[in-house]
Structure 1
Amino acid sequence: MLKPNQKDAYDMILDAIDVGVYKPGSRLVESELADRFGVSRTPIREALQRLETQSLLTRDGRSLIVASLDHNQLAELYVVRAELEGLAAQLAARHATPEEVKVLREMVDEDHKLMGDPSALSRANRRFHKQIHLASHNRFLVRQLDLVHRSMALLATTSLAIEGRDKLALEEHDAIVSAIETGDGDRAYQALREHISVAFQTRLRADAEAVEATGI
């Protein structure tokens, strides 16, 4: 069983990876992490071991670095994410309480204020999806989605930073919540799967353009 400070060390490192403080390829050093987060090296060491076990970190000689996803791994991740997220929306349409649905609607309405701020919108996006996961009222599904979203932290950028994606993503969120509000599980499933599919297409186009620009 992890002690509170050990759990905190794990969460702090994972959050730092998630927000891009440490990007794929970044080397993680115990002493530097301990200084940054104000904890001893023991919980940092155990957190790093846990992250390595989860394939979020990888070895480069004797050093631990943040892992990266190749094209095939990215495609596999999005396939699984689309199916599990779609199922969560479908179950949310059936089982969400009125209060949970109201919170989802408020999130969509409030997130329009964040347009133009990709970092803030990315954080809001994670909260929105997490709320749908919880509204599914299926603990096993929530657990699997937590694993998927941990791997999403390995993506160096958010697709919400790409021009025009923020507006479209919020329109997609609105369609998802509308389906959940009416209890239409099939429509909620399709709306969320389409949302993930468009995000994947956006990321693929951005990656292709980046490769073209660098001439690699």
Structure 2
Amino acid sequence: MATSVYERIRDAIVTGRFEAGRVLSENALAADFGTSRTPVREALHRLEIERLVERGPRGAIVRATSPEEILDIYEVRITLEGSAARSAAKHATDLDLARLRARQDAMRGLEGADARAAANRAFHAALWEASHSPTLIDLLDRLHVHLQRYPTTTLDWPGRWDEVIREHDELLDAISRHDGDAARDIAERHMTGAREVRLQMYADAAPPRP
């Protein structure tokens, strides 16, 4: 029950149904989910550790994100994605490679931001699993949750989708050849490209200086 409550609250935060600054009342959440306050309290504590929730004067509230925090997450993810790719090149099984190829093939020809974002997430999840490193998988999943809260995707940027497909092909080739150094370098370049697009998106959205 505690896990279910945690997943439901986390999903509501990630999808924006629980907006930044919203007070999360234990009593109200317990009533909504038809449970006692104990699993709600446990869920909120877990979400506080994950920095999705923080303590305020009136109790737990949904944390706001900032451009600086998002860019910091990209910096960390660049390194972790590189490590996952390098590990995948060393440890990926034939089944892992088949899953990666299937996820990559599913991305080709997709239209629409939501479909592309979901397919891209599925490919990276398969890459993390192919690393066979539970620690890397956990850390990358936590980072991705924070990025999901941002309402726009870098995949909408002109030319970015074609670049993503090409870089995934290069990454798959390196992993298939068990070239860990090449896989790491490609993955780091791939995520650096996403960060640079995000920076440009922030710059374009900024109000003009007086």
TM-score calculated relative to the size of structure 1: 0.82
Preserved contact between residue 28 and residue 65 of structure 1 (Cα < 8 Å): yes
Name the CA distance, whole Å, in 1 between partners of 2:157 and 2:36.
Answer: 38
3-state DSSP class of the match of 2:190?
A: helix
Q: 1:134 aligns with which of 126, 129, 132?
A: 129
- 2:90 is matched with 94
Q: Which of the residues 5, 29, 42 maps onto 1:46?
A: 42
Say if 1:68 and 1:154, in contact at 8 Å, map to a contact too: no
How far does the alpha carbon of each residue in 1:31-56 deviate from its partner, in whole angstroms, 9 at most, with x for none?
A: 665566x4425223321222123211
Paired letter, 2:57: G
**Percent identical across equivalent pairs?**
36
Amino acid at match of 1:190: D
Q: Identify the match of residue 177 of structure 2 among 168, 173, 182.
A: 182
Over the aligned positions, Cα root-mean-square deviation in angstroms equals: 2.6
Equivalences for residues 1-216 of structure 1 within 5 A: 5-30=1-26, 33=29, 38-42=33-37, 43-116=39-112, 118-212=113-207
Post-superposition CA distance 1:7-52 (Å, at most 9, x none): 112122222333333344444444665566x442522332122212
Runs of at least 5 residues in structure 1 that lack an aligned partner in the other structure: none
CA separation of 1:31/1:205 partners in 2, compared to 1, >3 Å: closer, same or farther? Answer: farther
Number of residue pairs the alignment of both structures matches: 209
Structure 1 stretches (4+) deviating beyond 4 angstroms?
29-36
